[in-house]
Amino acid sequence: MRAALPLALIGRAVLRGLGSAGRVAIFAGSALAHILRPPLYPREFAIALLNIGWLSLPVVGLTAIFTGAALALQIYSGGARFSAEAVVPQIVAIGMVRELGPVLVGLMIAARVTSSIAAEIATMKVTEQIDALVTLSTRPMSYLVAPRVLAGLLTVPLLVACGDVIGILGGYLVATKSLGFNAAAYLVNTLDFLEPLDIVSSLVKGAAFGGIAALMGCYFGMHSGRGAQGVGRATKASVEAAAVLILAANFVLTGVFFSL
């Protein structure tokens, strides 16, 4: 019996994990179905667009510009070891657009938006506002979840595009102001090197990460436990899940685009 205990623990953990994955998948399916069927709530959608998209722009911009600038310095000093300093524009461009732009924007959205959605919806749950919505003949999936998930799917690619441009700008500023690169040549190298598929992959990743971030916030908010502790746990779990899923999805999507 004792020998079987570790196996039983592993089995229970696997079953719990599969159960959670199933619940999240059902929730995601329901959220997507509610996006496509009426009623739609334009006001809630507009608020979600503002909160997820516009109000995230400053943090996305700051993250991207510092990352692009640091990337330029790293590539310059690393490239110098084998006389490849000249590749700074190309590597900054491809690094930002294919990888760092979407991932960092996704993680910043997970930190800023997922936590805020989870805390808001969890607070609504513990104060019976979600029950109140139901008694007022309003489906929480249509009113709370669908507008946020749709806004995440639509705005995060735009944020990623902004992050890509600002990140490249960060690299450009460091390269031209302190590393001695010619401004025009830097821009020409950047634009010549990028391919349409790089930009498409960046935007697709943005949409996927935006959807994941909003879904995790909604899922953990709607399944929050009671009281302040329940809200805190839901918020923490939502950010952890969103961050891990964004990184996992990044790996899968990178593999998919790499194979094209």
Which residue has 């990352």 as its token pair? 67
| Smallest separation, CB 110 to another protein (Å) | 22
| Residues whose CB falls within 8 Å of the CB of residue 169, separated by 6 or more in sequence, listed in order | 65, 68
Instruction: By CB under 8 A, tell whether 228 contacts another protein.
Output: no
Which of these segments, 105-113, 135-143, 147-155, 188-196, binds another protein (CB under 8 A)? 135-143
Does 39 bind another protein (CB under 8 A)? Our answer is yes
Residue 136 sits in the site that holds another protein (CB under 8 A) = yes
Token output for 116: 């805020």
Q: Which positions from 3 through 32 interact with another protein, judged by CB under 8 A?
A: none
Q: Enter the DSSP assignment of 206.
A: H
CA angle 237, 251, 148 (to 5 degrees): 45
2 or 43, CB closer to another protein?
Answer: 43
Q: How far is the CB of 143 from another protein (least distance, A)?
A: 8
Q: Compute the distance between CA of residue 68 and CA of residue 74 in angstroms, rounded to an integer.
A: 10
Cα 82 to Cα 87, 171, 179, distances in angstroms: 11, 20, 17
d(CA 110, CA 151): 14
Residue 128 binding another protein, by CB under 8 A: yes
Size of the site for another protein (CB under 8 A): 16
Which residue among 41, 45, 66, 193 contacts another protein (CB under 8 A)? 41
| Token pair belonging to 64 | 């991207």
- Given the rule CB under 8 A, which of 88-96, 103-111, 132-140, 191-199 is the region that contacts another protein? 132-140
Euclidean distance between CA atoms 238 and 31, whole angstroms: 16
Of 61-69, 93-101, 119-127, 161-169, the segment contacting another protein by CB under 8 A is 119-127
- Smallest gap from Cβ 127 to another protein, in A, equals 6
* Contact (Cβ atoms closer than 8 angstroms) between residue 233 and residue 122: no
Residues in region 46-75 near another protein by CB under 8 A: 47
Residues of this chain that bind another protein (CB under 8 A): 39, 41, 47, 123-124, 127-129, 131-132, 134-139
